[in-house]
Amino acid sequence: MDDQQWHTVEAAAALANLESDRDCGLSSTAVEQRQAEYGPNAIQETGGRSRLRILLDQFTNVMLLMLIGVAVISGVLSLRAGETPKDAIAIFAIVLLNAVLGYLQENRAEQALSALKQLSAPAVRTLRQGEIREVPAAALVPGDIILLEAGDQVAADGRLLEAANLQARESALTGEAQAVTKKAEIVLEADAALGDRKNLVFQGTEIVQGRAQVLVTRTGMKTELGRIADMLQGVEAEDTPLQRRMGQLSNALVLGSLILVAIVVIGGVVAMGWQAFEELLTVSLSMAVAVVPEGLPAVITVTLAIGTQRMVRRQALIRRLPAVETLGSVTTICSDKTGTLTQNKMVVQSVHTPSGGWQVSGEGYAPEGNFLQAEESIQPLEQPVLALLLLDCVLCNDAVLQKQDGEWAIMGDPTEGSLVVLAGKAGLEQQPLTYQFKRRAEFPFSSERKRMSVAVEAAEDSRFQFDSPYLLLAKGSPEILLDYCNAVAVESLGETEAMERGWRDLVLQTNERLAGQGMRVLGFAARPLTEIPDADDPDAAERDLVWLGMVGLIDAPRPEVREAVKRCRQAGIRPVMITGDHPLTARALAIDLGISETGAEALRGQQLEQMSQPELEEAVQRVSVYARVAPEHKLRIVQALQKQHQVVAMTGDGVNDAPALKQADIGIAMGITGTDVSKEASDMVLLDDNFASIVAATEEGRVVYSNIRRFIKYILGSNIGEVLTIALSPLLLPVVAVPLTPLQILWMNLVTDGFPALALAVEPPEPNVMNRPPYDPQESIFARGLGFYMVRIGIIFGIIAIMLMLWAYDYAQTTPGDPDRWKTMVFTMLCLSQMGHAIAVRSDRRLAVEMSPFSNPFILLAVGVTTLLQLALVYVPPLRNFFGTHALTLTELAVCFGFSTLIFVWVELEKLFIRAWMRSHRPVEKRTVQ
């Protein structure tokens, strides 16, 4: 029964299949049996990670595990020596801080399923044992018969038994903006798309018009809504590119550290014997602390938080911090059509009468624009037939155009509203015309009639040509309206030609051409009347109409989207359209915006359904437009793109988009039109529902990633220098001594690294940030020379520090004062060297003197503050005692400053060398001698 295609069977057969009675419904006994069999009509949640599990998972990071081991050994050694384990306490504090930061990022309760549950109606009218009862939605079972009317929320999937002028809004499930007309009597093919199953209603949708009697066919997790919930829970969160790269970095640092520790300890024992083991172990602990950038997680978190603030200013609200950097790695943007690429406002783009055709300019609902023929503007009211068609647009209409808070808005049907806007562009105002031409009768639109007409009392007006006391004005489907026309208005309503086959074919050809361009087409006709028609006989009133023409409407693209798509192309990002709308509409818009090319393939959901996953993975490489897609199709498309190693951003606003939003590397929900379900499943919310804002956010993401690489280069370059200095000190000095204690190293890694690194995090973007393709999402953090730079600069750091260490050791032994003050000189020099490195590392090519200090004033502030803090550790007694430093003389401090400038000079000289090398290897332009 669960596999039954209910849209393929007659209503009577569906009743027989579910053993239900149309007049009586189910008995109480049958309801109880089915409730036991099918369970409650509710979305079921599967368990996720507990908060304790999330917290414990933070301690599985290899760098934190290594630090914990270092803290334990350090604590034991300190206690054996009868000292306070300051180093161990400090390390444990850092480990705990990093764990808390990770926990806060991950412990965001997943609310998407809760939002899905809220779509279920709390109560529903049900026919049971011949009586209409109101029962909780959760109590519904297959075979129940429910009654629906306008305003009701559908509580379960069902087959229509009876429908009267029924329309349902299914945009949450299918993505289609227009309400769907439902019919009980039709039977459909098995491969009919979800949006085309007009004899079914679905849980979570809303009835906007009419009434119905519905046989419940599926409940709970078997409904379309339940299938979406099941897909949502089946999507496993993938690590972001940044998280993968940080994992690579952790593994490389820990492995390198362990190898170096092994070399130092084994080499030292071989050279000096087991009596030096404890001193060598102390050296190893300092090396292990030095190699781990303890402040890096905090700096990255703050950097991503700064990125979120910048993105909010560009209308993108980030819900999960890692998404900030992931945006910079995006290679494919899968976008919905309605409201994201388009304005979600129907706009008339062309008007066609028997005497000619005109393009109409203007955007949105503002009644401002021109009627253009061959690029020349015309006065529409000087064309008699066109003027009468525009009058028809105003009077045969129930929508109202009005200005709200300085913006034009439509009250009523958007399609009807666009006709009022069209007339307004010609200078016809709705309110005076409706007062002047009083409505005397009306024949409303219905799904069966597919047309609407009104009879108005004619008034004298020089702008319109007709000679009768009353006027019938009609609009509707061109094919339907043509059947009621026997003449064509050539010059005016009084100057007509018979509706012969030639005229009819011309009208239908124009209709097909406009529909092929993705437009919705409405036809217009009129008829002079001598008396008010009978309100109960629309066919009599609408006979012998005179054809006036037609208009082509479209949900116009947002004006800024074309430029945004162009920027995507320049940035090497591929835009893809995935929509529930008609293929012709989708293809026409995609070609117009530059997403697709003329003649390019567009896949429909039915075609996609028949593809295997390998076939789809091959197709997604070339197809840029998908139409009439179901929720599982969107999910499959995203998964296929990810199999091709693409970093996918997926937009959506409906319940149907939630699984794909969660699966995508970046799920982007619409802030204005989006459902709560889509927002909770997303990583980012577009505050203005605008595709251009995605491109702007992508630019910010690229800037964030560039800055993360910049401060990683800064931090790890100095860390490698620290490790080399510590590792070589026992081999180069006459005693086994460590120039830096773990506590001093933590100070360097957290403070003297941290503040300048945060300043580098707000470095402004490079000029060409969106003129290059995205970097390979699979690339290592060490790619594009970063690893070589860190090793190279680390070695230079180490050489400079060792030179100072050797001089300072001899100096301290031969001059009055504490002989251990050489350690403070090495500590101070390393900290001050990082300040010069921070200034130099701002750019890979430009010299520091070529860059404006005001483009990033935070770097100067960070350098100044950090230098003062370092001097405080040397000259403020309480801090000096805690960190184990010694006061330096002015001469010794001057030597530290002198050595610390060498790293800045080296990096600047490297830039000059690279420039010279690039100039010498630049291709020589060939000149033609004339």
> What are the φ and ψ backbone dihedral angles of 817, each rounded to 5 degrees?
120, 180
Q: What is the mean pLDDT of residues 623-629?
A: 89
Q: How far apart are CA 333 and CA 339, in angstroms?
A: 16
Q: How far apart are CA 459 and CA 825, in angstroms?
A: 99
What domains does the chain contain, in order, with CATH numbers? 6-38+114-234 (2.70.150.10), 348-554 (3.40.1110.10)
Q: Which residues contact 738 (CB under 8 A, 6 or more apart)?
A: 282, 283, 286, 726, 729, 730
Q: How far is CA 45 from CA 138, 348, 797, in A?
A: 15, 46, 55
Predicted local confidence at residue 527, as pLDDT: 92
Q: Which residue has the higher pLDDT, 854 or 553?
A: 553
Predicted local confidence at residue 425, as pLDDT: 95
- Give residue 46's pLDDT band: very low, low, confident or very high (50, 70, 90): low
Q: Is 668 helix (H, G, I), strand (E, B) or coil?
A: strand
- Give residue 175's pLDDT band: very low, low, confident or very high (50, 70, 90): low
Q: What Rg do the C-alpha atoms of the chain give, in angstroms? A: 37
Predicted local confidence at residue 42, as pLDDT: 83
CB atoms within 10 A of CB 111: 13
Contact 722, 862 (CB under 8 A): no
Q: Which residue has the higher pLDDT, 777 or 854?
A: 854
Q: How far is CA 708 from CA 191, 291, 552, 893, in A?
A: 49, 18, 50, 32
Q: How far apart are CA 610 and CA 878, in angstroms?
A: 75
Contact 98, 64 (CB under 8 A): yes
- Number of Cα atoms under 13 Å in the Cβ half of residue 84: 8
Q: For residue 183, is pLDDT > 70?
A: yes
On average, the pLDDT of the chain sits at 85
Number of H helices, E strands in the chain: 33, 28
Q: What is the mean pLDDT of residues 593-621?
A: 89
- Give residue 112's pLDDT band: very low, low, confident or very high (50, 70, 90): very low
For residue 542, how far is the Cα from the chain centroid?
50
CB atoms within 10 A of CB 558: 22
Share of the chain above pLDDT 70, in %: 94
Q: For residue 107, is pLDDT > 70?
A: no
Q: Which residues contact 885 (CB under 8 A, 6 or more apart)?
A: 744, 823, 824, 827, 873, 874, 879
Interhelix angle for 241-272 vs 691-732, to 10°?
Answer: 0
- Give residue 85's pLDDT band: very low, low, confident or very high (50, 70, 90): confident
Q: What is the mean pLDDT of residues 233-258?
A: 76
> What are the φ and ψ backbone dihedral angles of 379, each rounded to 5 degrees?
-95, 105
- Give residue 113's pLDDT band: very low, low, confident or very high (50, 70, 90): very low
Q: For residue 650, is pLDDT > 50?
A: yes
Q: Which residues of 221-253 are buried (b: 16+ CB within 10 A; e: fewer)?
A: bbbbbbbbbebbbebeeeebbbeebbeebbeeb
Q: Which residue has the higher pLDDT, 128 or 730?
A: 128
Highest mean pLDDT among 246-255, 500-509, 870-879: 870-879
Give residue-wise pLDDT tens across range 211-229. Answer: 999 999 999 889 888 888 7
DSSP string, 12-25: HHHHHHTT--TTT-
Q: Which residues contact 337 (CB under 8 A, 6 or more apart)?
A: 175, 555, 577, 579, 581, 585, 586, 589
Predicted local confidence at residue 111, as pLDDT: 46
Predicted local confidence at residue 927, as pLDDT: 42
Q: How far apart are CA 642 and CA 619, in angstroms?
A: 13
Q: What is the mean pLDDT of residues 902-917?
A: 93
- Give residue 176's pLDDT band: very low, low, confident or very high (50, 70, 90): low
CB atoms within 10 A of CB 708: 26
* pTM for this entry: 0.70
Known catalytic membership, residue 844: no
Give residue-wise pLDDT tens across range 881-893. Answer: 999 999 999 999 9
Predicted local confidence at residue 193, as pLDDT: 79
Strand ranges for 278-399 from DSSP E = 316-318, 332-335, 342-353, 356-360, 371-373, 376-378
Q: For residue 929, is pLDDT > 50?
A: no
Q: How many residues does the chain have?
A: 930
Q: How far is the first Cα of the chain from the last one, in angstroms, to the nearest whole number?
A: 87
- Give residue 369's pLDDT band: very low, low, confident or very high (50, 70, 90): very high
Pairing relationship of beta strands 200-201 and 157-169 according to DSSP bridges: antiparallel
Q: Which residues contact 606 (CB under 8 A, 6 or more apart)?
A: 191, 193, 628
Q: How far apart are CA 678 and CA 116, in angstroms?
A: 9
Q: What is the mean pLDDT of residues 127-139?
A: 90
Q: For residue 415, is pLDDT > 60?
A: yes
Predicted local confidence at residue 109, as pLDDT: 38
Given 152, 157, 336, 392, the catalytic residue: 336
